[in-house]
Amino acid sequence: MPQHPDVLIIGGGVIGMTAAYFLARDGVQVEVVDKGDFGQEASWAGAGILPPGNPARARTPIDQLRAHSTAMFPVLSLELRERTGIDNGYLHCGGVAFPDEHFTETDAWRHEGIAIEKLQEADLLRLEPAIGRGLGPAYHVPDMTQLRNPWHMRALLAGCRSLDVQLQANCPINGFDLKGGRIVGVKSGQASISAGNYILASGAWTDSLLTQVGWRPGVRPIRGQIALLNTPTPLFRRILLSGPRYLVPRSDGRVLVGSTEEDAGFEKHTTARAISDLLSFACRLVPQLATAPVECCWAGLRPGSPDGLPFIGAVPEVNNLYVAAGHFRAGIGLSPATAMVLKELILKRPLTIPIDAFRLNRVASARI
């Protein structure tokens, strides 16, 4: 590895690590730095729900990003397992969604030709007998999948190491050296790290660095709390969705119960009220969970954006800096297609997905 990589990626979460893996796989010399340990923030904390998608029929840019990611995950998961020996837990399990004002995906999925079936309560109970009574009709989404976030991050990390990606944990970046519209180095303590191109993928912490090159798009932390239950044997097989909350059953009997959406700044801790509400929700959907041991609880800070869309693409007026942040609840689910687009931008290839909707300057107040 030469002293100066072709690409320096700031942020070792799922977006940064997937981009590093894709670039290195194409022969690009990559370095990734992170302020802490790799993949230990929102990427580790999430539930790993992967919605279905059909790239050939997805209409909007965000639907295309989702659909391409969905299509890429089976191949990426197999490739990582063959390269590293690490199973990321990718599983075709299906899902059940209880409709409310938050559930708007049915039209997009139907347009894409994705199987989705409305079930009355009797049909639902035949499908998943452990589900509580009186919950009303629901939608069966047989092509919903999942993975286990910590396993996926371990596989990505090992995959990057196998491709000679240089990795520096506990390396906070404090600022940029900017000359003539180009980044010539980033500051870490008393040292400077130089590269040909730079990708800023630092999640909820992205704004603090972008302000130093004149942009403040409004990426902010949104806390999500999760509880983990552990049942002796699995009670249900499919992911259960109700608005922003969910139950994700793992094959070993564990059940993830999430998640809150709290504008709490950088306060990453669980609270008694939120965990109590989540556990009540779990027992309402699957009453037998009332006797399940609570194994642990945790919180993560998702990178929210003002309009709910991520920021992906070149940073205006800085010709070798790119951003990929603000994926909110969908970082894992959108990571393969986001990394694909970043690779195409860096290597000056035609874009598979139009990204104008994700440009940094779409938010009128983003320019300082």
The reported pLDDT for the residue numbered 294 is: 97
For 13-37, what is the mean pLDDT? 97
The reported pLDDT for the residue numbered 189 is: 83
Task: Summarize pLDDT for 244-258 with one digit per residue, the tens.
Answer: 999 999 999 999 999
What contacts 342, CB < 8 A, 6 or more positions away? 19, 22, 23, 199, 312, 322, 324
Task: Summarize pLDDT for 298-340 with one digit per residue, the tens.
Answer: 999 999 999 999 999 999 999 999 999 999 999 999 999 999 9
The reported pLDDT for the residue numbered 92 is: 97
* Whole-angstrom distance, CA of residue 329 vs CA of residue 338: 14
The reported pLDDT for the residue numbered 100 is: 76
* Whole-angstrom distance, CA of residue 172 vs CA of residue 219: 18
The reported pLDDT for the residue numbered 354 is: 95
189 and 128 assigned to the same domain: no
- Identify the CATH number of the domain in which residue 175 sits: 3.50.50.60
For 171-187, what is the mean pLDDT? 94
Share of the chain above pLDDT 70, in %: 98
- pLDDT over 50 at 103, yes or no: yes
296 found inside a domain: yes
161 and 262 assigned to the same domain: no
* Whole-angstrom distance, CA of residue 246 vs CA of residue 24: 35
What's the pTM value of the predicted model, to 2 decimals? Answer: 0.96
Q: Which helix (H) or strand (E) holds 167?
A: strand 166-168
Indicate the residue among 276, 304, 332 that finishes a domain: 304
The reported pLDDT for the residue numbered 136 is: 87
Is residue 216 exposed (0-12), middle (13-18) or buried (19+ Cβ within 10 Å)? middle
244 found inside a domain: yes
Q: For residue 273, what are the CA distances in angstroms to 270, 280, 298, 300?
A: 9, 11, 13, 16
12 and 39 Cβ atoms separated by less than 8 Å: yes
* Whole-angstrom distance, CA of residue 79 vs CA of residue 98: 34
166 and 255 assigned to the same domain: no
1 found inside a domain: no
- Identify the CATH number of the domain in which residue 279 sits: 3.30.9.10
106 found inside a domain: yes
287 and 183 assigned to the same domain: no
78 and 179 assigned to the same domain: yes
Q: Which amino acid is at 345?
A: L
- pLDDT over 90 at 190, yes or no: no
Q: How many domains does the chain have?
A: 2
Indicate the residue among 271, 304, 337 that finishes a domain: 304
Mean pLDDT score of the chain: 95
332 and 149 Cβ atoms separated by less than 8 Å: yes
Q: Which amino acid is at 295?
A: E
For 87-98, what is the mean pLDDT? 97
The reported pLDDT for the residue numbered 102 is: 61
The reported pLDDT for the residue numbered 310 is: 98
169 and 298 assigned to the same domain: no
142 and 94 Cβ atoms separated by less than 8 Å: yes
325 found inside a domain: yes
Q: For residue 167, what are the CA distances in angstroms to 23, 206, 229, 259, 273?
A: 14, 19, 34, 31, 39
- pLDDT over 80 at 104, yes or no: no
H helices within 134-246, ranges in order?
Answer: 149-162, 206-210
Task: Summarize pLDDT for 137-147 with one digit per residue, the tens.
Answer: 899 999 999 99
36 and 130 assigned to the same domain: no
159 and 81 assigned to the same domain: yes
Sheet containing 7-10, strands listed edge to edge, beginning at the edge strand earlier in sequence: 166-168, 30-33, 7-10, 197-200, 321-325, 311-314
Indicate the residue among 304, 329, 356 that finishes a domain: 304
Higher-confidence residue: 104 or 214? Answer: 214
In 3D space, the residue among 359, 323, 352, 286 whose CA is nearest the CA of residue 132 turns out to be 286
What are 179's strand-pairing partners? 182
The reported pLDDT for the residue numbered 2 is: 47
The reported pLDDT for the residue numbered 101 is: 67
* Whole-angstrom distance, CA of residue 232 vs CA of residue 235: 9
277 and 191 assigned to the same domain: no
300 and 310 assigned to the same domain: no
202 and 228 assigned to the same domain: no
The C-alpha R_g of the chain, in whole angstroms, comes to 21
215 and 230 assigned to the same domain: no
Q: What residues make up the domain containing 225?
A: 95-142+220-304
For 349-366, what is the mean pLDDT? 92
Is residue 316 exposed (0-12), middle (13-18) or buried (19+ Cβ within 10 Å)? middle
What contacts 16, CB < 8 A, 6 or more positions away? 9, 10, 32, 34, 199, 201, 202, 324
161 found inside a domain: yes
